[in-house]
Amino acid sequence: MKTSVSPDTFPPRGHEAKRVSIVEAAASVFCREGFAGANIDLISAEAGVSRQTVYNHHGDKERLFIAVVRDLTERCNAGIFATIATFPDQPVDLEADLIGFAVRLNRNCICSRDGKFLRKLIQAEGERYPELFAEWLEQGPGRTLPAIAARFARLAHGGHLAIDDPDVAARQFLGLVNAELQTTFMLGGTPREEDVLRSATNGVRTFLRAFGARRNVAVGERHPVLAEA
């Protein structure tokens, strides 16, 4: 018997494939019905697996739930960091580049299936599992927000933006580019691509009105323009 955490075969087959499909089905059902409303029979049916197999893999409902949250957190984090890697450090057209970044962030991380599921589970069950979601807070926002802030700090340092507090600016950036999607998110919906683009465009424009390095530079300020390595 192989322990098989391994990427020997992709997509995974047999035993491991079942584990994956169980966690995926469970994510969907927990998200749709909540922890209490979720039903193991429904999860196993949706996973195409017998109920006993669910118990064989995960022990009980609560441990399955925890596995689901950990899995979603991990995958969402990976998506966010991959997207942060596309942040425009040497912007050509700052407005267009930031809009692109905001749209990618939305599409790949916030509106994605995993993102939606994780968001809903945190909102619905966060208070019941304080340790679990403290872990999420630490691994998620606790690492991604500073990473985004660091990118804005670098843009500011390069003279492309006039930012005092990069951490606040990062949070405000996210608040702005999602400003028009709030009610859709509240209701658990997925905004249309065109709405994501509009919200990002309006948000970035406002962000740049507030933080864009202006032509008439104040006293002691480094001259912004394009020159850097």
Binding part of the chain for a copy of itself, among 46-54, 61-69, 91-99, 185-193 by CB under 8 A, reads 185-193
What is the Cα–Cα distance from 161 to 154, expressed in whole angstroms? 9
Number of residues that bind DNA (CB under 7 A): 22
Is the link from the previous residue into 91 a cis peptide, with omega within 30 of 0? no
Give the rounded distance of the alpha carbon of 38 from its chain centre: 24
Please compute, for residue 35, the number of CA atoms within 13 A of its CA located in the half-sphere on the CB side: 20
What Cα–Cα distance (Å) separates residue 57 from each residue in 22, 51, 60, 61, 65? 9, 10, 9, 11, 12
The entry of a copy of itself, DNA, none near residue 94 (CB within 5 to 8 angstroms by kind) is none
Give 228: exposed, middle or buried? Use CB within 10 Å, 0-12, 13-18, 19+: exposed
Binding part of the chain for a copy of itself, among 3-11, 15-23, 30-38, 103-111 by CB under 8 A, reads 30-38
Q: Does 90 bind a copy of itself (CB under 8 A)?
A: no
Q: Does 194 bind a copy of itself (CB under 8 A)?
A: no
Q: Does 1 bind DNA (CB under 7 A)?
A: yes
Q: Does 86 bind DNA (CB under 7 A)?
A: no
User: Which residues make up the interface to a copy of itself (CB under 8 A)?
Assistant: 32-37, 119-120, 122-124, 126-127, 133, 137, 141, 162, 165, 168, 171-172, 174-176, 178-180, 182-183, 186-188, 202-203, 206-207, 209-211, 213-214, 216-221
